Amino acid sequence: MAKTLPFSIDFSGCLADTGAECGALLDQTRSALARLRGCQADGTLPLLRLPAARDDLAALEPLVLRWRDEASDVLVLGIGGSSLGAQALLELRDPEDRGPRIHTPDNVDPVSFRRLVDGLDWAGTRVLAVSKSGGTVETVAQLLLVLDRMEASLGRDATAARLVVVAEPGNSPLRRIANDYGVETFDHDPNVGGRFSVLSLVGLLPAMLGGVDAVAIREGAAAVLDQAFAGSDPAEIPAAMGAAATAALMQHKGVSQAVQFGYVDRLARFGEWWRQLVGESLGKQGIGLAPVFARGATDQHSQLQLYLDGPRDKLVTVIEPPAEQQPAWRITPEAATRYGVPYLAGRSLGDLIAAEARATAESLIAEGRPTIRMKLDAVDGRTIGALMMTAMIETILLADLLAVDPFDQPAVEKGKILTREYLAAAG
């Protein structure tokens, strides 16, 4: 596979029993890739035009500069696709960054939310409320509580000066709040679904507030599209290979779970973002793939036994860490010898986790468990942009192979309706 992306990927460990079936499915991705290329050209799938865009980032700069200069804390209110992508990108934040603390309370547990807001200095706090529909009940509820607390502390005008709303155009609760307070509002593109919105301002505005390089993220995503739409053999396109290999295992080997086993802590939130992408996009009509995130090396001590010796219903992707980018903190030979662990002499934690990732992948393959190996060049904006776009294109292609719509979530809507009914009845 040509090396044009900031990672390398090896599918050989998942093709032993389904090579022919995968090949046939891989050929089917050609037409889907051609359709996606057409959608990029005519703009019918705006997601595919985001990587090349820069004007929208420039429009965010005044707000970013102002808040980074004057705020001590930024409260990002959102849930699901309006929060998970931002959380993943914020993991790239430089620990020495002097910008505001970014809080992403993506749940409505009353205890944890109160603990967070009770610790905020409202004068130094800025609030970013994000919801594609503008009516997400969790986000609206959080915002109403925050506004009540802020107004009691600062007054209405000062509260309004500290609030920004992101929602699609329309007469939604968030838009009504924004209009009532007269606050700055940014449009969420109605044609970019929440779980596909990480490369829009939904993910990039919080990242920029944290000092993360949004251009690098989009450059990584653009590299994926450039390769995928260049007319290459689908076997050279990681997203196409991943979709075909997964579909073959689902259809011919009973695989029903996809495990992302990541050996980089800074990609843990990426794993949570990926779970939503796969779960909501593919879980329809009795079809689907249960996404599982495992954290290496931690989950070697809780999950690996199951993956090695349990049901043969899993496809595991092992994400192996890059070489250490800072001077390694090494164990002295004297200490290693003295305490009976000579294999640790001169070794660092980076050496240890890399060896464990390699051992996990090779053990799974030796047991005949379908395994994909991914090796990262670095953990930076370009890499995570490429990983995210690869995951999104792979999911869209896999949905095409499985004949499901990756862009809706009809079953979830039923639960939202019931939630509103229960709240109304309780009142």
Q: Is 132 among the catalytic positions?
A: no
CA torsion sign for 240, 224, 263, 291 is negative
Q: Which of 96, 301, 334, 414 is catalytic?
A: 301
* CB-neighbour burial class of residue 301 (10 A; exposed 0-12, middle 13-18, buried 19+): exposed
Q: Is 236 among the catalytic positions?
A: no
Amino acid letter, residue 345: A
Tokens of 378: 């670095």
Closest CA to 25 of 273, 185, 243: 243
Q: Is 314 among the catalytic positions?
A: no
Q: Which of 280, 284, 320, 394 is catalytic?
A: 280
Q: Which of 103, 252, 253, 416 is catalytic?
A: 416
The 3-class secondary structure across the chain, one letter per residue, is CCCCCCEEEECHHHCCCCHHHHHHHHHHHHHHHHHHHHHHHHCCCHHHHHHHCCHHHHHHHHHHHHHHHHCCEEEEECCHHHCHHHHHHHCCCCCCCCCCEEECCCCCCHHHHHHHHHCCCHHHEEEEEECCCCCCHHHHHHHHHHHHHHHHHHCHHHHHCCEEEEECCCCCHHHHHHHHHCCEEEECCCCCCHHHCCCCHHHHHHHHHCCCCHHHHHHHHHHHHHHHCCCCCHHHCHHHHHHHHHHHHHHHHCCCEEEEEECCHHHHHHHHHHHHHHHHHHCECCECCEEEEEECCHHHHCCHHHHHHCCCCEEEEEEECCCCCCCCCECCHHHHHHCCCHHHCCCEHHHHHHHHHHHHHHHHHHCCCCEEEEEECCCCHHHHHHHHHHHHHHHHHHHHHHCCCCCCCHHHHHHHHHHHHHHHHHC
The residues annotated as belonging to the active site are: 280, 301, 416
